[in-house]
Amino acid sequence: MGIRSLFGFSRTRDMPTNTAGSGYSFLFGRTTSGKPVNERTAMQTTAVYACVRILSETLASLPLHVYAYKDSGGKELVYSHPLYNILHDEPNPEMTSFVFRETMMSHLLIWGNAYAQIIRNGSGRVLGLYPLLPDKMDVERDDKGRLYYIYARQSNENPNFKRHGDIVLQQEDVLHIPGLGFDGLVGYSPIAMAKNAVGITLACEEYGASFFANGANPGGVLEHPGVLKDPSKVRESWNAVYQGANNAHKVAVLEEGMKYQQIGIPPEEAQFLETRKFQINEIARLYRIPPHMVGDLEKSSFSNIEQQSLEFVKYTLDPWVIRWEQSLQKALLLSGEKGKYFIKLNVDGLLRGDYESRMNGYATGRQNGWLSSNDIREMEDMNPIPEEEGGNQYLINGNMCKLKDAGLFAGKQSEKQEEPQQLNGKRGKR
């Protein structure tokens, strides 16, 4: 995906020893609707902007932590790990974690790839992360089959680059999060893949703007019973008085027997509004966004909107979260750390129901012994109860027992009743 082979056929990459670049087979550019589509014109449509914003802001707002595997099982937060502050708070001195992830996610949704330069110290530890523009990046292989990146710097977006032109970056110096692609190395741009759908949306918006600019009236012709010496003068005088939204509904005065004949198709007959509405759903389908999240509430109700929101987390957000987590672990953890630590984006907060449902769920977990008071307080973002006060105790109802122990108490009681009878029988024999 680079400045030289952006979305065009370049060299093939069938063998890992090839020196092939990031080849795309789908181009940004003109569509069948006649509207040019690229990353910037696409973002001018409200549907694309809304979908990109929803996914970018949602992923950027998720808690991002570094965990360590415990020897006894489970996990624990590792605040002291060098990556924790970088990922959770400040990837570089110019950006917060939210802004960094929002920027990277928007690159991923528009171009299909997200790149960031990794700044390391002498021991390989990560010191900072700086986003790189995807449309300036090429992915190549050297003669030994190892990946490397070529960044075409033409502006001052990255303070670590001191010169302009092509800059070669090794694989360990680049965090690359690829989207859906056919080779597993470089992702395809969703906008480039669906450029015709985006082009129709742009054409509909332009038609609507032109419709209102012309006084919200379709085109027509002025008929004159005679021969006009200067038709352009008549047309210009008509437009000067009646064209434009500010001149709509003015009373037209026709002279010399002229008649106005409408020849355009009224918007209600052309189903202009229905077309625009369908295109919004088309873009939402592209990014797998529930329609109600981009303002289409036709098929949403109070009873199903919560379920649609949960499905958004499960089917839309989760794949992106996993893609992020695995890419971060692969690029940022040292080889000796990958069996000890892992990076996690927490989506539990998005899956929480309403207050009453949460309290009922906590009560069930508490009464059945698989949630302690501190477990519940942690999920509700509350301070823990001290351990000496029982905050970490797991309780269970006293009337519950193991299946194999069912009837054990009754059996012991019958044994106690049989013992005196046996003693009495022995005494009688004496």
228 and 372 within one domain: no
Average pLDDT over residues 199-210: 74
Q: How many of the other CB atoms lie within 10 Å of CB of 326?
A: 13
Which residue bears the tokens 């369908």?
278
C-alpha angle 52-159-43 in degrees, rounded to nearest 5? 20
Q: Alpha-carbon distance 277 to 265, whole Å? A: 19
Q: Which two tokens stand for residue 406?
A: 């069912």
206 and 91 within one domain: yes
Top pLDDT among 383 and 101 is at: 101
Q: Alpha-carbon distance 160 to 151, whole Å? A: 12
**Residue 228 pLDDT more than 70?**
no
Q: Which of 331, 351, 371 is the last residue of a domain?
A: 351
296 and 179 within one domain: yes
Q: Alpha-carbon distance 401 to 18, whole Å? A: 65
Q: Which two tokens stand for residue 192?
A: 């480039």
Model pLDDT, residue 20? 40
Top pLDDT among 32 and 67 is at: 67
Least confident of 158-167, 173-182, 340-349: 158-167
409 and 280 within one domain: no
188 and 161 within one domain: yes
Which of 100-114, 211-225, 262-276 is predicted most confidently? 100-114
Q: Which two tokens stand for residue 86?
A: 């970088």
Model pLDDT, residue 183? 85
**Residue 411 pLDDT more than 80?**
no
Instruction: Provide the pLDDT confidence category of residue 159 given band limits of 50, 70 and 90.
Output: confident
Across the chain, mean pLDDT equals 78
Instruction: Provide the pLDDT confidence category of residue 7 given band limits of 50, 70 and 90.
Output: very low
Model pLDDT, residue 16? 41
Instruction: Provide the pLDDT confidence category of residue 400 given band limits of 50, 70 and 90.
Output: low
Model pLDDT, residue 239? 67
372 and 295 within one domain: no
Q: Which of 301, 323, 351 is the last residue of a domain?
A: 351
Least confident of 136-140, 234-238, 341-345, 426-430: 426-430
DSSP for 279-316, please give it: HHHHHHHHTT--GGGGT--TT--TTTHHHHHHHIIIII
Average pLDDT over residues 142-160: 87
**Residue 300 pLDDT more than 70?**
no
89 and 7 within one domain: yes
Model pLDDT, residue 333? 95
Q: Which of 263, 287, 322 is the last residue of a domain?
A: 263
259 and 277 within one domain: no
Query: What share of the chain in percent tops pLDDT 90?
Result: 31
Least confident of 58-62, 152-156, 212-216: 212-216
Instruction: Provide the pLDDT confidence category of residue 214 given band limits of 50, 70 and 90.
Output: low
140 and 60 within one domain: yes
Top pLDDT among 325 and 297 is at: 325
Q: How many of the other CB atoms lie within 10 Å of CB of 66?
A: 25
**Residue 253 pLDDT more than 70?**
no
Q: How does pLDDT run across 77-113, given as a tens digit for each residue?
A: 999 999 999 999 999 999 999 999 999 999 999 999 9
Q: Is 345 exposed, middle or buried (0-12, 13-18, 19+ CB in 10 A)?
A: buried
Amino acid identity, residue 157?
Answer: E
CA distances to 24, 137, 183, 412 from 4, rounded to whole Å, are 11, 9, 19, 85
**Residue 363 pLDDT more than 80?**
yes
Average pLDDT over residues 276-291: 84
Instruction: Provide the pLDDT confidence category of residue 245 given band limits of 50, 70 and 90.
Output: low
Element containing residue 223 per DSSP (H, E): strand 220-223
Top pLDDT among 366 and 357 is at: 366
Which of 205-209, 220-224, 290-294 is predicted most confidently? 290-294
Model pLDDT, residue 33? 66
Number of structural domains found in the chain: 3
Q: Is the dihedral of CA 354, 360, 366, 369 positive or negative?
A: negative
Instruction: Provide the pLDDT confidence category of residue 381 given band limits of 50, 70 and 90.
Output: confident
302 and 167 within one domain: yes
Q: Is the dihedral of CA 84, 85, 90, 91 positive or negative?
A: negative
pTM to 2 decimals?
Answer: 0.72
Least confident of 24-28, 141-145, 204-208, 260-264: 24-28
CA dihedral 334, 336, 338, 342 (to 10 degrees): -70
Model pLDDT, residue 248? 55
Instruction: Provide the pLDDT confidence category of residue 12 given band limits of 50, 70 and 90.
Output: very low
223 and 288 within one domain: no
With contact defined as beta carbons under 8 Å apart, do 300 and 53 qualify? no
Give first-to-last CA distance, the chain, whole Å.
103
CA distances to 226, 237, 258, 313 from 223, rounded to whole Å, are 9, 15, 5, 60
Question: What is the 3-class SS of 329-350, one letter each residue?
Answer: HHHHCCCCCCCCEEEEECCHHH
Which residue bears the tokens 């002279």?
255
Q: How many of the other CB atoms lie within 10 Å of CB of 37?
A: 26
Structural domain span for residue 375: 355-430
241 and 314 within one domain: no
Model pLDDT, residue 365? 87
Model pLDDT, residue 378? 82
